[in-house]
Amino acid sequence: MTTEFLFFLGFVVLIFGANLLVEGSASLGKRLGIPSIVIGLTIVAFGTSLPELVISGVAAWQGKTDLAIANVMGSNLLNILIILGITAIIAPIPSKKSTTNKVIPGSFLITVVLLLAVYSFNKEDIIIKRWEGIIFLVLFLVFIQLNRRASRNYIDNGEQNNIKDYNTLTSILLIVFGLGALFISGRWIVNGASEIAIKLRISQSVIGLTMVALATSLPELVTSVIAALKKNPDIAIGNVVGSNIFNILLVLGASATIRPLENYPDLSLDLGMVLVATFALFIMLYFGRRKYVLQRHEGVILVLIYIIYIIVRL
């Protein structure tokens, strides 16, 4: 099998492995008596960032740190501009007041922290040192704890019924096989991305920003579109913004801890665009015609912004 074939096959195995790991972990958590809201905020939410975590982690481990960072930048842009944009075109997306007033500004602030990490205390080409990565991971744990405290305001309404109930041995086997699939697929994707970049004579960061980011964001896109078609799009904004926070704190934090991350051309442009996209989302929700609702014409604007940016970037 060619490297390019393994590259595309790797995404199928990656999603399959992520589902196995999440199902096994959630089932095991249920058997251990962990409340469903905690499972949702940790295991399930963690699962949505698993593809980015695996690819960026493997890329950092192999020394291809430009791919590790570009994957996160591309995923965060796709989450806001394409996933929310397309979902809003299908059906206007309501946003919780707390999501608009707290979570989105929080995501913007965390992106600013990343910007400071990239352009402060750095020498030569190293932009995110190992100690900065560890700080990101600590901030990730703080973020999880804040979410757990906020969840106390909600009633655990039996959502555990939606979690498949496997016996303990089966749950553990799902976790083991899921981890194995993630490790193998991560290597296929990273090696394939490098080969494709060489053959097309483009940088690995461009591959990470476009092809890899699009593939890792497909599960969220499909989930959001299906929710919109079923007239239940209200889950989209909180999940997408939460995923962006996970990507920066967990994915980049873990990647930088594995190997300090290096700069790549146009990183400042990509990072600035993530800030612009996050700010634009806040403006549309807070100052739009219908407050706390992302409307169809605003979805069109988000998609057009992404298309124009990719054309300029390439």
Domain span at 83: 3-313
Q: How many CA atoms lie within 13 A of 293 on its CB side?
A: 9
What is the tens place of the pLDDT at every residue in 59-69? 899 888 888 89
Q: Which residue has the tokens 């993530």?
A: 274
Residue (of 74, 308, 311) closest to 193 by Cα position: 74
Q: Is the pLDDT of residue 280 over 90?
A: yes
157 pLDDT tier (thresholds 50, 70, 90): very low
Q: Is the pLDDT of residue 121 over 70?
A: no
Q: Which two tokens stand for residue 221?
A: 């896109």
* Structural domains in the chain (count): 1
**Phi first, then psi: what are they for 266, rounded to 5°?**
75, 10
Q: What is the pTM of this model?
A: 0.84
Q: Is the pLDDT of residue 3 over 50?
A: yes
Strands 261-262 and 126-128: antiparallel
Residue (of 286, 304, 306, 271) closest to 237 by Cα position: 286
Mean of pLDDT over the chain: 83
152 pLDDT tier (thresholds 50, 70, 90): low
Q: Is the pLDDT of residue 35 over 80?
A: no
**Whether the Cβ atoms of residue 51 and residue 216 lie closer than 8 Å to each other:** yes
State residue 85's pLDDT score.
Answer: 94
State residue 286's pLDDT score.
Answer: 92
| 3 state SS of 62 | coil
Q: Is the pLDDT of residue 155 over 70?
A: no
* DSSP-derived secondary structure for 136-176: HHHHHHHHHHHHHHHHTTS---SGGGGS----HHHHHHHHH
% of residues, the chain, pLDDT over 70: 88
Q: Which two tokens stand for residue 309?
A: 């940016």
State residue 256's pLDDT score.
Answer: 93
Q: Is the pLDDT of residue 158 over 60?
A: no
State residue 162's pLDDT score.
Answer: 58
Domain of 156: which CATH number?
1.20.1420.30
What is the tens place of the pLDDT at every residue in 282-308? 999 999 888 889 999 999 999 999 999
240 pLDDT tier (thresholds 50, 70, 90): confident
pLDDT (mean) for 49-58 = 86
Q: Is the pLDDT of residue 234 over 80?
A: no
State residue 138's pLDDT score.
Answer: 95
Classify the C-alpha dihedral 177-35-103-113 as positive or negative: negative
What is the tens place of the pLDDT at every residue in 169-213? 998 898 889 888 888 888 888 888 888 888 888 888 888 888 888
Least confident of 20-24, 127-131, 216-220: 216-220
pLDDT (mean) for 29-47 = 67
Q: Is the pLDDT of residue 153 over 60?
A: no
Residue scoring higher pLDDT (75 or 198) = 75
As a whole number of angstroms, the distance between CA 97 and CA 101 comes to 6
